[in-house]
Amino acid sequence: QVQLVESGGGLVQPGGSLRLSCRVSGSIFKIDEMGWYRRAPGKQRELVATFTSGDRINYADSVKGRFAISGDTGKETADLQMNSLKFEDTAVYYCFLHGKRLPWGSEDDYWGQGTQVTVSS
């Protein structure tokens, strides 16, 4: 069974910084993509930042220049450094992984339980 274990998050003032971390618990054969999504109150879940096994990185336009994703599909970790946080960054942040648990299995999406980030003065 594959679980994504998240840490970090919390309450921060506008302009502040937070760091989210995610690691894989359990056995997984191959990771194609890993990263972070978020769901703000009353909105749909959206991509924040991801990276692929081929080192391609994607950022949402709203976080470019402020957030930085790091990690390694081989080490099965994904960190998100969030700087210059704004009120509109308030959301539940979810770690995401797309890959194969078994060599003969299908590719699936895996999600963490989510961690709350609140930007408030």
Give me the pLDDT at residue 73, please.
82
- At 98, list the tokens: 């797309």
pLDDT band, very low/low/confident/very high, at 30 (cuts 50, 70, 90): very high
Contact between residue 64 and residue 70 where contact means Cβ atoms under 8 Å apart: no
List, for residues 79-120, the tens digit of each pLDDT value. 999 999 999 999 999 999 999 999 888 999 999 999 999 999
Give me the pLDDT at residue 14, please.
98
Helix (H, G, I), strand (E, B) or coil at 19: strand
Helix (H, G, I), strand (E, B) or coil at 41: coil
For the chain, report the end-to-end CA distance as a whole number of angstroms: 40
Q: What is the mean pLDDT of residues 5-22?
A: 97
Give me the pLDDT at residue 98, please.
97
Closest CA to 22 of 59, 82, 69: 69
Give me the pLDDT at residue 1, please.
86
Give me the pLDDT at residue 74, please.
85
